[in-house]
Amino acid sequence: MADKNEMPKIFSHSDRFLIIDLKDRKEIVYEEYRPNPHGETCRTKYPIPTGTGDGITEEEQEIYRNIAEIIKDCQTTIGYNLGYFPMLALEKVTFYVLQSVPVMPHDYIKQLIETKAYFGDYLDRD
């Protein structure tokens, strides 16, 4: 997730998603940004993610499913403050969903690659 090269405070509020492809699981060989057409709606109508014990509207649930569709070809999703319902939608379309810290996306990805933090176990699986 990325807004002006920063991680927004809430995953679904992102204006765009940073997609990265790794060669040999350690070198960035491709990257693109995919727009999130639901960012503004989520920021205004759903400023705080719905909690696990709360009900969720059909509209909100559909938004999270649509966001997951945008990145369904990704093996791993990393985001800050994902929220329970967005995480459920993402878990249905990606292999790994990881919570991150609020830092610059490129810096965070580079740190994960270098330290194999989070990726350590995941990178060795196919």
- Cβ 96 vs Cβ 122: under 8 Å: yes
pLDDT tens figures, 35-57? 999 999 999 998 887 777 777 88
Maximum CA extent, the chain? 42
**22 falls in which pLDDT band (50, 70, 90)?**
confident
Claim: this prediction has a pTM higher than 0.75: yes
In whole angstroms, what is the distance from residue 14 CA to residue 2 CA? 6
- Cβ 54 vs Cβ 44: under 8 Å: no
- Please report the pLDDT score of residue 20 as a whole number: 84
Upper half-sphere CA count for residue 19 (Cβ side, 13 Å): 15
CB atoms within 10 A of CB 126: 4
**Could you give all domains of the chain from N- to C-terminal order, each with its CATH number?**
11-122 (3.30.420.130)
- Please report the pLDDT score of residue 96 as a whole number: 78
